[in-house]
């Protein structure tokens, strides 16, 4: 996993307010109670506090509609964060002074992250003061960073990587492929771009934004992420600044088993990306231009059909965890990368647990549609040669 900019500022940031909502002025400190027994009798009690549109249906099925995950996944998330969130014996209360148990707190945080609604709206709908929503959400983010980090990791064994490769090859026949890379922009509403400190966040589509770069497998699981870079950077520049790029150049990643091709050629492990990324021996991009030869057109079709998993993953992430969708109102740019990271963790958890609710949700899979396709002209000769060999092999023109 790549570096998440802002993590080193954790100690200082812990003393600040979350700034997603500029009008939030904080709230009182409250004494905490231990968690109630872990039971879905909890939901019966919690649902009675719902107000507004959330209160229209209070049966058990409404849980899935509100939180977009199954109750089984919810219980697992609670088990992950329990020790951290309850360690300081400092929980919170609702507006009537009733203590919020662990499940209450996780529900508040998940609702904030999944709905993307303001602290005020979330608080009103769950009968909790907006300042408490803010504090609980941030405590949950800290807990997930510590307890859930193992849900994002590069395949650590040859067996695990072999499984990833096999699944990629089954899509459209690309052999020895280890991942698909793409980026998305997390848009922010910041003060005027004339403010020197905000100019760097101004991207080519005239939005203030933060970049999230992700490498995914065929199940749309994040294998490696980098976030925190300003939207003014191109995809290729952000990529070359990542630890993944450095590790690959040093031969410490994508250095596994090579596939033997005809004419004494070996195909090393690689990932695929669109034309916004450089063509490298371990990062293959499509052919550009018109009037391409048949084998190049065929390769591009295979490439596009396979690479779409990265676009789908990023779209699903933002559609599920809407706090990072749309345009965030003046977020704390030091804390935002950590929120993005936790949303990526939650995304992977639903995949790892084969969440049945997520599988039933219809997604548009529309990632950054308002952003124009970036183009990177960087071409490594060895990468061009490797792509040609692979394209010819797949077309049957490279014979033993």
Determine the Cα–Cα distance for residues 380 and 282; give it in Å rounded to an integer. Answer: 10
Asked which of 165-174, 188-197, 210-219 is least confident by mean pLDDT, the reply is 188-197
Q: Which two tokens stand for residue 122?
A: 């979330």
Q: Could you tell me where the beta strands, DSSP code E, fall in 231-352?
A: 259-261, 265-267, 270-272, 283-284, 327-329
Higher pLDDT among residues 37 and 330, named by residue: 330
Mean pLDDT of 227-252: 96
Q: Is 33 exposed, middle or buried (0-12, 13-18, 19+ CB in 10 A)?
A: middle
Higher pLDDT among residues 9 and 332, named by residue: 332
| 58, 64, 66, 71: CA torsion to nearest 10 | 90
Determine the Cα–Cα distance for residues 225 and 220; give it in Å rounded to an integer. Answer: 13
| Cβ pair 223, 213 in contact under 8 A | no
pLDDT for 53 beyond 90: no
The b/e string for 227-263 (b: 16+ C-beta within 10 A; e otherwise) is: bbbbbbbbbbebbbebebbebbeeeebbeeeeeebee
Q: Is the dihedral of CA 186, 192, 197, 202 positive or negative?
A: positive
Q: pLDDT at position 57, please?
A: 56
Q: Which two tokens stand for residue 362?
A: 């219809």
Nearest to 214 by CA among 284, 312, 285, 148: 312
Asked which of 77-86, 164-173, 323-332, 379-388 is least confident by mean pLDDT, the reply is 323-332
Q: How many CA atoms lie within 13 A of 392 on its CB side?
A: 15
pLDDT for 8 beyond 50: no
Other beta carbons within 10 angstroms of residue 37's beta carbon come to: 8
Average pLDDT, the chain: 87
- Show Cβ contacts of residue 122 under 8 Å, excluding neighbours closer than 6 positions: 108, 111, 112, 115, 128, 130, 133
pLDDT for 60 beyond 70: no
pLDDT > 70 in the chain, percent: 86
Q: Whole-model pTM?
A: 0.88
Beta partners for residue 92, in sequence order: 100
Q: How confident is the model at residue 398 (pLDDT cuts 50, 70, 90)?
A: low
Mean pLDDT of 127-131: 95
- Quickly list DSSP for 25-79: ---------PPPPS-THHHHHHHTT--GGGGS--STHHHHHHHSS-HHHHHHHHH
Q: Is 175 exposed, middle or buried (0-12, 13-18, 19+ CB in 10 A)?
A: middle
Asked which of 4-18, 36-50, 112-126, 188-202 is least confident by mean pLDDT, the reply is 4-18
pLDDT for 376 beyond 80: yes
**Is beta strand 222-230 parallel, antiparallel or unpaired with respect to 208-216?**
antiparallel
pLDDT digits (tens, 9 = 90+) for 299-349: 999 999 999 999 999 999 999 999 999 888 888 889 999 999 999 999 999
Whole-number Cα distances in Å, 352 to 4, 52, 318, 346: 22, 33, 18, 10
């Amino acid at each position: 996993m790549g570096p998440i900019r802002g993590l080193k500022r954790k100690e200082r940031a812990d003393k600040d307010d979350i700034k997603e909502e500029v009008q939030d002025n904080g709230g009182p400190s409250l004494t905490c109670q231990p968690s109630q027994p872990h039971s879905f009798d909890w939901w019966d009690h919690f649902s009675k506090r719902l107000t507004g549109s959330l209160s229209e249906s209070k049966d058990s099925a409404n849980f899935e509609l509100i939180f977009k995950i199954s109750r089984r996944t919810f219980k697992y998330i609670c088990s992950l964060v329990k020790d951290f969130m309850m360690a300081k014996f400092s929980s919170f209360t609702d507006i009537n002074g009733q203590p919020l148990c662990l499940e209450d707190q996780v529900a508040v945080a998940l609702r904030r992250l999944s709905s993307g609604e303001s602290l005020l709206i979330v608080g009103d709908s769950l009968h909790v003061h907006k300042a408490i929503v803010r504090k609980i959400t941030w405590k949950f983010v800290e807990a997930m960073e510590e307890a859930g980090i193992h849900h994002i990791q590069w395949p650590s064994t040859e067996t695990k990587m072999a499984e990833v490769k096999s699944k990629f090859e089954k899509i459209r026949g690309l052999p020895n492929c280890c991942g698909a890379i793409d980026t998305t922009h997390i848009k922010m509403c910041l003060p005027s771009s004339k403010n020197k400190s905000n100019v760097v966040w101004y991207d080519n589509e005239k939005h203030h934004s933060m970049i999230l770069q992700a490498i995914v497998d065929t199940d749309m699981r994040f294998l490696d992420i980098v976030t925190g870079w300003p939207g003014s950077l191109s995809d290729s520049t952000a990529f070359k600044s990542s630890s993944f790029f450095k590790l690959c150049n040093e031969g410490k990643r994508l250095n596994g088993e090579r596939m033997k091709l005809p004419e004494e050629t070996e195909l090393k492990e690689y990932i695929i990306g669109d034309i916004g990324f450089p063509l490298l021996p371990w990062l293959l991009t499509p052919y550009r231009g018109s009037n391409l030869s048949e084998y190049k057109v065929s390769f591009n079709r295979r490439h596009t059909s396979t690479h779409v998993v990265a676009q789908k993953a990023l779209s699903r992430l933002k559609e599920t965890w809407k706090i990072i969708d749309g345009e965030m109102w003046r977020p704390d740019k030091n804390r935002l990368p950590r929120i993005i990271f936790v949303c990526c963790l939650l995304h992977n958890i639903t995949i790892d647990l084969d969440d049945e609710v997520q599988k039933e949700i219809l997604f548009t899979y529309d990632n950054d549609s308002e952003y124009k396709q970036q183009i990177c002209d960087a071409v490594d000769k060895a990468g061009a040669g490797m792509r040609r060999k692979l394209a010819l092999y797949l077309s049957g023109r490279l014979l033993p």
